[in-house]
Each structure stands twice: as structure tokens, then as C-alpha cells.
Structure 1
Amino acid sequence: MKKKTEILDSAAINRALTRMAHEILEKNKGGEDLILVGIKTRGVPLANRLQEKIKQIESIEVPVGELDITLYRDDLEKVTESKDPEIKSATIHVELKGKKVILVDDVLYTGRTVRAALDAVMDVGRPSRIQLGVLVDRGHRELPIRADYVGKNIPTSDKEIIVVHLDETDKDDSVSIYEK
């Protein structure tokens, strides 16, 4: 893969997450009954960052959960490349019933990850509403799924890949476009 360009640096990611936190609070009339659920791997640190931003804005601590959707994927054999998938689960320490769940992920592409996450959340509990927040929406949907909160829309071709690096997982904050 060849790096074409960097789309977001650390400061731009921070600004995008600040805006998303404000939008989440505005749309939901505050932070009451909200739960942020990060989709592993990079959705988890993004959910934690959103939690911190909401705390700075509203002085409330919104619970954060983690969701591993590996076994819910409809392309499991393709993703795991014939290896046995590592079995993980949801780590959500609050009751979902009647709550507003905000699924958080780094990149929205085909929609298949989000579809799997919806199934996984419903196995954990029955929230009153599920919303989606993504750092990057790159288009090319295969399923009728759209994000409620988007840090940056980045139209791409099928020959391009969006690579998100976060300090928590990669020791660097950036979003770049690579060419296959």
C-alpha cells in the first residue's frame, strides 16, 4: 500500500470529536440515559474520548461499553482468513433496556460491521434507541445504514483504503488515505 495523503491530524481528530460530542448532546437533549459503545478495536478509544468530551461539556459521566462483533460478521471466514476466530464478547456494565446506545466506530464503509454490531447489542439488551457515530464515513454502502454523527466525510474510490491511527492503539493520531 502506498500512502496518498493524510486527511486528519491529531488536532483535526480532536475537533471532530468535540463537534460530535456536542451533536450527540444536542440531539439527545443532554446526556441522560446515554451509553457509548465502542466497536473494537478503534471504536473503543473513540468512545472513551467522546465520554471525556461529554463530561467536559455537561459535567456528567456517560457509561462506556466495548463490543467485539467478530462472531456476528457475515464474512467471518473471509475476515479471519481460515484461522479460528478469537472469541470475545460485549463488555457493557450497565443495563441497556430503555437507554439510548451510541455505537462508535472509526470508519463506516459497507455497513456490514454496523449490522453485526446491531445484532450484538440486541443480544445484550433492548435499548430504546441505537444511534451511530463514526470518525470517518467513506461511502460505498452495501447495506442501508447511515451514521447519525460523522467526524469527517471522505469520499473514496474502491482502490483506496482509509487508515485510522489512534494514540491508544497505534501511538499516533492520524487518518490517511492509502492506495491499494
Structure 2
Amino acid sequence: MTPQTKQQNLILDRAQIEQKVTRMAYEIYERNFEEQELVLAGIYPNGHTLAEKLATQLQQISPIRIQLLQVKLNKDKPLQEPVQLEPESLSLEGKAVVLVDDVLNTGKTLAYTLNVFLSRSPKKVEVATLVDRHHPLYPIAATYTGYSLATTLRERVQVVLKEDEVAAYLL
């Protein structure tokens, strides 16, 4: 069976994803209610879109000032290109940071971004993910998880966060 003909199994629809994002936002607020400001750092592209959705929810339920940060890296070869943060000028010193990605699989992507954050002296770094697949190869665990899913190593989880389609599939 080629990847193109693999069956797509819907694991989360739009309503379920919105519900999980709302729940995650409440959890983030509960653990950070004493903070004046919170930085949501989303791994581009889907992690950043998820961070935007979390920011919208947090702004509705909490008085915390939310800053969005876009994190770009080469996920296949993370050491060949530097991790980029946009806006570069955003100070992280003494701030609570939530690193956001759509799927947590081995932890590799998040592990390679940690050095960039730690070098900027944040107060703490937490991890939020929509789907946690539980195949850790790096010491990364999600602080906030929308959906926990046991998968085989051959299976893939694809999250779609577009205007016309919001869903997660098991491939």
C-alpha cells in the first residue's frame, strides 16, 4: 500500500478540536493564573496556528497578556539551520513560555528548540500539544495534551488547521 492510498481515519473533528483547545486554554490559565504575561511559542506551521487558537481562548477567559511567538526550524535536519523566532525582539527573560506543537511524537522537534528558549532565561517552559503519540526518544513530555493516542511507529497523525477544514487524521 503506497502512502497515497493509505486509509485516512478521522480521530478528531472540528468540534472536538475546538473543545480540546478550550480545555487546554483553561488548564494553561489554571497553572499560570499568577502570571502577568504568557508567551505562546508555536512551531510553524500547525503549532503556530494552534498557539493562535489557544491565545484567542486565553484572552477570553483570563486577564493574562498573551504574546505570540512563531518558531521556525528544519524538522528533518534541525542542526543544519538555526531555529528562528519571530518576532526576534520579544524578550523571554523571566516569562512563562508555552511551547506549542500540533503532534508530539518522539520529542525531537521540541528538544531542538529548547536551547533557543533556555538561552533567553525564561521563568519556565511548558509544552502544549494537540495530539500526543507517546513515542518519546527525547526527554520531552507534554504539560498540556488535547488528545492522547497510542499509535504504532508506522502510523502517522496529520493535523489540519485550515479555514475550511479543522481535523486530525490517523494515517
Q: Would you call these one fold, judging by a TM-score over 0.5?
A: yes
Q: Which residue of 2 aligns with 1:177?
A: 170
Question: Structure 1 residue 60: deviation in Å?
Answer: 4.3
2:36 alignment partner AA: E
Q: 143, 152, 158: which is aligned to 1:157?
A: 152
Q: Which residue of 2 aligns with 1:97?
A: 93
Question: Structure 1 residue 158: deviation in Å?
Answer: 1.0
Question: Structure 1 residue 61: deviation in Å?
Answer: 3.9
**CA 1:55/1:31 → structure 2, altered by over 3 Å: closer, same or farther?**
farther
1:111 aligns to 2:104 (yes or no): no
Q: Secondary structure at the match of 1:66?
A: strand
Q: Which residue of 2 aligns with 1:76?
A: 77
1:142 aligns to 2:143 (yes or no): no
2 CA distance for matches of 1:69 and 1:88?
5
Q: Which consecutive segments of 4 or more residues in structure 1 shift more than 4 A?
A: 85-88
2 CA distance for matches of 1:24 and 1:121?
19
1:127 aligns to 2:122 (yes or no): yes
Question: Structure 1 residue 121: deviation in Å?
Answer: 2.1
Q: Secondary structure at the match of 1:132?
A: strand
1 CA distance for matches of 2:22 and 2:69?
20
1:32 aligns to 2:44 (yes or no): no
Task: Output the TM-score relative to the length of structure 1.
Answer: 0.84
Structure holding more helix per residue: 1
Q: Secondary structure at the match of 1:62?
A: strand
2 CA distance for matches of 1:60 and 1:152?
25
- What is the root-mean-square deviation in Å for CA atoms of aligned residues? 2.1
Question: Structure 1 residue 30: deviation in Å?
Answer: 4.8
**CA 1:142/1:59 → structure 2, altered by over 3 Å: closer, same or farther?**
same
- Percent of pairs identical after alignment? 34
Q: Secondary structure at the match of 2:109?
A: helix
**CA 1:144/1:88 → structure 2, altered by over 3 Å: closer, same or farther?**
closer
1 CA distance for matches of 2:13 and 2:123?
35
Task: Output the TM-score relative to the length of structure 2.
Answer: 0.88
1 CA distance for matches of 2:54 and 2:36?
15
Q: Which residue of 2 aligns with 1:82?
A: none
* Count of aligned positions: 166
